[in-house]
Amino acid sequence: MSSGRTPDAGIGACEIRRLGVLISGSGTNLENIAVKIEEGYLRARIAVVISDREDAYGLVRARRHGLQAVFLDPGSFPDRVSFDRELIRVLQENRVDLVILAGYMRMVSPEFVEAFRHRIMNIHPALLPSFPGTSGVADALAYGVKVTGVTVHFVDEGLDTGPVILQDTVPVLPGDDVESLHERIHGVEYRLYPEAIRLFCEGRLRVEGRHVRILGEGGEESIGLA
């Protein structure tokens, strides 16, 4: 029986997706994604890497992998809206399908969210909605939680409030400091972010309100993780 789907419109049809990665700092997640592409785990291409900081080490990592790496200076724009308009322009010029925030330390404007609705992902080093904001690791540690983790989510107009795609836990160990805890969190990030991007690239994510459904390989809903 025919499924009624054309071969290239099917789930998992694996068209090569073009990623735009925004960074502000070290860029280890960016580099990990670049490696996953090189290894063939991800059928995607990083079309452009953009940093809002000239000294972001992630720009060096990007160039080492032969990627187009651009510094956009927020100081040369009158406000966030005009800076974000230039970001949108560069991303669209590079025909980006999915925007990846990887340690990007600025909130994006509503106009930016609208331009790439459900096509912007962020990774957060805590289990949202706990400990949003820029110091999620330190805040979890200070609170005294026994378990924290990693969240990959779509970006909406709020601060770390968008629909959750994947989460995983990281135990807080006796004697942990911010550095040791963040190191173990990074380890989970290097697995979770490529997994979420892969699901997107395979057309297996459906956003329904606050809920992100993960479709199985044949198009049926998956109850676990892929």
**Active-site residue list:** 124
Between residues 29 and 148, which has the closer beta carbon with respect to ligand GRF?
Answer: 29
Among the listed residues 18, 26, 107, 184, the single contact to ligand GRF using CB under 6 A: 26
124 binds ligand GRF (CB under 6 A): yes
29 binds ligand GRF (CB under 6 A): yes
For 57, list phi and psi in degrees, rounded to 5. Answer: -65, -25
53 binds ligand GRF (CB under 6 A): no
27 binds ligand GRF (CB under 6 A): yes
Between residues 113 and 185, which has the closer beta carbon with respect to ligand GRF?
Answer: 185
Helical packing angle, 178-201 and 28-38, nearest 10° = 40
CA nearest 63: which of 95, 94, 30, 102?
A: 30
Among the listed residues 20, 103, 162, 194, the single contact to ligand GRF using CB under 6 A: 103
Q: How far apart are CA 136 and CA 149, in angstroms?
A: 10
Among the listed residues 87, 102, 108, 170, the single contact to ligand GRF using CB under 6 A: 102
For residue 175, the minimal CB distance to ligand GRF (Å) is 20
Binding to ligand GRF (CB under 6 A) within 55-74 occurs at: 58
For 39, list phi and psi in degrees, rounded to 5. Answer: -80, -10
Among the listed residues 42, 115, 123, 201, the single contact to ligand GRF using CB under 6 A: 123
- CB within 8 Å of 32: residues ≥ 6 apart: 189, 190, 193, 194
198 binds ligand GRF (CB under 6 A): no
Residue with tokens 């230039």: 86
Among the listed residues 125, 149, 162, 194, the single contact to ligand GRF using CB under 6 A: 125
Decide: 52 and 74 in contact? Cβ < 8 Å.
Answer: yes
Q: In b/e form, how buried is each residue of 139-161, taking b as 16+ CB within 10 angstroms? A: bbbeeebeebbbbbbbbbeeebe
Decide: 95 and 129 in contact? Cβ < 8 Å.
Answer: no
Question: Which residue's CB comes closest to ligand GRF?
Answer: 103
Query: For ligand GRF, which stretch binds (CB under 6 A), given 8-16, 21-29, 70-78, 203-211?
Result: 21-29
Q: Applying CB under 6 A, which residues contact ligand GRF?
A: 25-29, 58, 102-103, 123-125, 186, 189
